[in-house]
Amino acid sequence: MEWSLPAGLTNGSQPNVQDHDLEGRDIVLKASWQTESAKDAEKSMYMAGAGAFGTAAVLYSYEATHPTGEPVSNCLLVPTRQEMTDNPNHPWTIGKSENETPEIRDLCITVFLSIGHLFYEAKSSYDICIGIAHALLGWLSYYQSGWMHRDISIGNVLLTLGQSMTVKPFKLEGEILEPLWPPASVDGTTIALQGLHIATESPSQTSAQIGKDINALIEKIEIGSNCAAFVTDDDLAVQWATYFDDEHKHAPRFGTPEFMSLPLHRAMLENTKYIQSPANDVQSFFWVMLWAVLFNNMDQKRCPREVAWRAEMEGADVRAKGDFTARLNREEFDPEFSGVKYSAVGVQLFPLLQAWWRKQRELEADWGKVLREAKRISPESHARFHLHHYHWFALRGVKEFLEIMDEYCPTLKSYGQFEPPSSSL
């Protein structure tokens, strides 16, 4: 198929294309068939990220056109709603379909300067850990620019593998640090959330203070520059400022099942209402890290238990995911006490995953308290109430991983690189 490069391009995160010497430089071209809403969301999120720390460096993006100027689209191949009404026996209705009408999709092209590699290719446990940290900061960069990703997965979080990108140091700022709740009163009654650590509970728990803690941890661990990973593929992203408008009230749950948070995954399977939140995205990073450990290409020596876990994770079964976390929570990974000869990457990173999952359980439980408390809030206050907690949970989720990384970082650095797999003659 041939298409034309339009004269007017929409720059992504690199508005000054002429400043880049592209001769001999590798780039990535992504071609995807996107719906109207998805293509607008991805393009807007890339532009909002503006090449911030941990985000994909986009050279430009555009909608492909034929030499005649017509968009490259499937619109000529599918019936219109009127055609389906006039002819109920139209071929589109044969078989089962989730959509009442076929989706119109256009070919969209995005050109990236960022070259990424799957987390499976990480050469050390420290590479995996700092990669997750930088990707979380990239996710937070997008978030503070107004966007929630909603589809964190092993294919959307990529390592630079030694080709670390020199970008602007991570900077946390903006309205997500400002309190939105509580107002002086709600329906004439001051609301107090018993037992829930929210930004109004104490000075040490405000969004602004958590932001300061994040900046301090980044400086302490020395991970605020030379970006080692980034987040990409933003076609399911949503602007949190409008997330509670009427059009989103009954929006479907988004994400890749293998990497969905457990409550979101269950809600999708049970077709129950569930408000997707930053806490769900943060838990998706946990599943990405687990896959990076279980499926690492460098460390081939796996015990039967790890082989079984790999098969369970590939099945995208929510019960298997729940069973794994229950076992992870009580497992002993020290070779001297476990009686199981785990792989090197497992011995090095399962304890960190164990500590992180315990934090994830607390985060999930506290988000559940927010959802229950929201039922007491008047409808006109819902957006403000939820956004306040969206911001706070986004910050808390990132801070808690950085605290865990700070604890494990010296040990992970001491392990060195994994032994490469031996090649058979």
Q: Is the pLDDT of residue 5 over 80?
A: no
* pLDDT at site 394: 96
Dihedral over Cα of 136, 139, 144, 145: its sign: positive
For residues 299-328, give the mean pLDDT. 92
* From 119-133, 159-173, 323-337, 382-396, the region with the lowest mean pLDDT: 159-173
pTM: 0.86
pLDDT band for 18, please (50, 70, 90 cuts): very low
Over 50: is that where the pLDDT of 231 sits? yes
Beta partners for residue 63, in sequence order:
108
Please state, in angstroms and rounded to a whole number, the distance separating the CA atoms of residues 117 and 100. 38
Lowest mean pLDDT among 34-48, 188-202, 365-379: 188-202
How many residues appear in the chain? 425
Task: Give the integer Cα–Cα distance in Å for 21 and 388.
Answer: 43
Q: Looking at residue 11, what is its pLDDT?
A: 47
Mean pLDDT across the chain: 82
Mean pLDDT on 346-364: 96
Instruction: Indicate the pLDDT class of residue 166, thresholds 50, 70 and 90.
Output: low
In this predicted structure, the answer to whether residue 40 has a pLDDT above a threshold of 80 is: no
- The pLDDT-based confidence of 336 (bands split at 50, 70, 90) is confident
Backbone angles phi, psi at 121, to 5 degrees: -90, 5
From start to end of 22-79, where are the E strands? 28-34, 58-63
Tell me what pLDDT residue 46 has. Answer: 82
Q: What pLDDT does residue 17 have?
A: 43
| 176 or 125: which leads in pLDDT | 125
Contact 265, 319 (CB under 8 A): no
183-222 pLDDT, tens digit per residue, is 433 333 333 333 334 444 455 688 889 999 999 999 999 9
Across 87-91, 92-96, 105-109, 170-174, least confident range: 92-96
Model confidence at 254, pLDDT cuts 50, 70, 90, reads confident
| Residue 220, C-beta contacts closer than 8 angstroms, at least 6 positions apart | 406
Distance (Å, whole) CA 246 – CA 249: 5
